[in-house]
Structure 1
Amino acid sequence: MKRRHFLGTSIAASAGIMAYQNVYGAAEKPSGFQKLKGNINHSACYWCYETIPLDTFLGELVKLGVKAIDLVGPEDWPLLKKHGIHASMCWGAEISLTEGFNDPAYHPELVKRYSEIIPKVAAAGYTNLICFSGNRRGMPDELGLAHCVEGLSRVLPIAEEHGVVLQMELLNSKVDHKDYMCDHTAWGVALCKALGSDNFKLLYDIYHMQIMEGDVIRNIRENQDYIGHYHTGGNPGRHEIDETQELYYPAIMRAILETGFKGHVAQEFIPSREDKIASLAQGIGICDV
């Protein structure tokens, strides 16, 4: 399953709760996900659950106490309104992961698309809109960064006018997205500094950055001012974030909280178990520090 090829059966929330064992198998179980601590603003990426109809999936989020969903476009927003679910990361303006702002050939189309969708995001009551660097294709990183500054500078005034934050996702170029340019925190931070706008941030994907550079907690702490959103995922394999993988998410979530972060943390792992909602409930419980 590939996220960018995203454009069934769900279970009762009680089953998801029973599947969750607090922080990696401890005996204590929460009494119900309606009692989330409220320190973390939880979200979930729908492409990981694409076999479940969106209407059904949104209903499961409500039962779990999750109030937001990631990576949905204008065609889905009416359904979100029906369930009272917030779009914590919108998409729909990008061309693709590989065709991004680092190539001036794509600037006219990207400027057109982002100029059209930014006002729609704001009018719907949302704030975050994803964007991508694109692939290198032999281009030096410094030149690609300069091209990103040039292209993004053409749409940032519109984002600033409408209170929308453009968020460029950090992705790994080692396993999943070969040749992607925005593949290290330092490059993304350099782009943020060059643009100098509060309406441009980084979408820090913990799974991807574990693959590329590790040292996740230190990087989060040192670059907190430039991070506007988080995605989770277990490494290796991008599956459940429990004891089957190498990252210890309770510590990572505590580090995020310590930075004063008020945005969303979205679960973006691909469930490997048949009971996908139970896996999601487990991940939310692990991250609810």
Structure 2
Amino acid sequence: MNVDAKQGRLQQSVCQWCYGHMPLEELAAEVARRGMVGIDLLEPKQFAAVKQHGLVCTMVTSHPLEDGLCDPQFHDMCHERLTASIEATAAEGWKNVICFTGNARGIDRETGMRNCIAALEKILPLAESKGVTLVMELLNSRVDHPDYMCDRSEWGVELVRRLGSKHFGLLFDIYHMQIMEGDIIRTIQQHHDAFVHYHTAGNPGRHELDDQQELRYPPIARAIADTGFEGFLAHEFVAKSDPLDALSDAVRQCTV
């Protein structure tokens, strides 16, 4: 293995859903062995499994991806689930809770942004009081998530600007944004203040970070580290090869 993420400038983690065949306790042990800090996208009932290995949950789940903040019919449900996630995250002294715009369902971009602002302004005071950050994910609408509203960096950055809260930011998913817009390093350099979390994966296919895909992760990782980024970079790929070998290679590439 011979990898240790602690030797680099980035705090690395991994998304649990990509290793659904592996018991969480086993995955947590492997993550800790590689010098990583935690596991992404867990719910509170899973927290104990990572804590016993000295890890944190680097992003806590909340409401459904498709049914999100851009559509008022889902606001009450999202508020309830975000509240529960914020409380659980704060109780552990952790930081990040994910949120989504959801699908547009015919809502135009400007109306959707105003709807997101209305929903977030209702829940952000709780997040701010608890020291928790709400993190909206940028996802591609071309391949994986048709009709998802927050599918461009520019739209998400404008939402961050309008809200103006230190407790709201974006999850810049490199795989998704490669599909939608490319120009990954320049976007990171220009808008890093809005990006509080990153996800990795190879494109095409969301597979491991190998020579069969079009992204080169060492320079991307250096670009992120060079911005002074202090958050988490989580690996979110589905390996075609041995998944733990692929994870070791990803850690190695992003230890910069």
**Band of TM-score, shorter chain:** over 0.9
Q: 1:223 to 1:107 in 2, by over 3 A?
A: same
How many Å apart are 1:207 and its aligned residue? Answer: 0.2
Name the residue aligned to 1:39: 9
**Separation in 1, partners of 2:215, 2:4:** 26
Larger radius of gyration: 1
Tell me which residue corresponds to 1:220: 188
Structure 2 counterpart of 1:65, from 1, 12, 35 = 35
Tell me whether 1:287 sits opposite 2:254 in the alignment.
yes
State yes or no: 1:103 paired with 2:71: yes
Identify the residue that residue 152 of structure 2 maps to in structure 1: 184
Alignment of 1:152-171 (within 5 A): 152-171=120-139
* 2:5–2:12 contact (8 Å) kept in structure 1: no
Unpaired runs of 5+ residues, structure 2, are none
Q: Which of 111, 122, 140 is the matching residue for 2:108? A: 140
Aligned amino acid, residue 170 of structure 1: L
Which SS does the other structure have where 2:7 is aligned? coil
Deviation at 1:79, TM superposition (A): 1.3
Instruction: Answer whether contact 1:242 1:286 (CA < 8 A) is retained.
Output: no
Contact 2:5 2:252 in 1 (8 A): no
Q: Which amino acid aligns with 2:55?
A: I
TM-score, reference length from structure 2: 0.98
Paired residue type of 1:39: R
Task: Single out whichever of 80-89 and 198-207 deviates more from structure 2.
Answer: 80-89
Say how many residue pairs are matched. Answer: 256
Cα deviation 1:57-109 (Å, max 9, x = unaligned): 11111211212110011000111111111111111x21x11100001111111
Deviations 1:202-233 (A, max 9, x none): 00000000000000011111111100000000
| Structure 2 equivalent of residue 10 of structure 1 | none
Paired residue type of 1:227 = F
Aligned residue in 1 for 2:83: 115
Which one-letter code corresponds to 1:174 in the other structure? Answer: R
Candidates 242, 245, 253, aligned match of 1:278: 245
In angstroms, what is the RMSD of aligned CA positions?
Answer: 1.0
Query: Structure 1 56/179 Cα, relative in aligned 2: closer, same or farther at 3 Å?
Result: same
Task: Report the AA paired with residue 181 of structure 1.
Answer: M
Distance of 2:202 and 2:158 partners within structure 1: 27
Q: TM-score of the superposition, structure 1-length normalised?
A: 0.87
Name the CA distance, whole Å, in 2 between partners of 1:136 and 1:34. 42
Q: CA deviation at 1:56?
A: 0.7
Superposition misfits of 4+ residues, deviation over 3 angstroms: none
Q: Distance in 1 between matches of 2:110 and 2:156?
A: 11
Corresponding residue of 1:22: none
Inter-partner Cα distance in structure 2 for 1:58 and 1:176 = 27
Deviation, structure 1 residue 177: 0.4
Quick one: which of 9, 23, 37 aligns to 1:53? 23
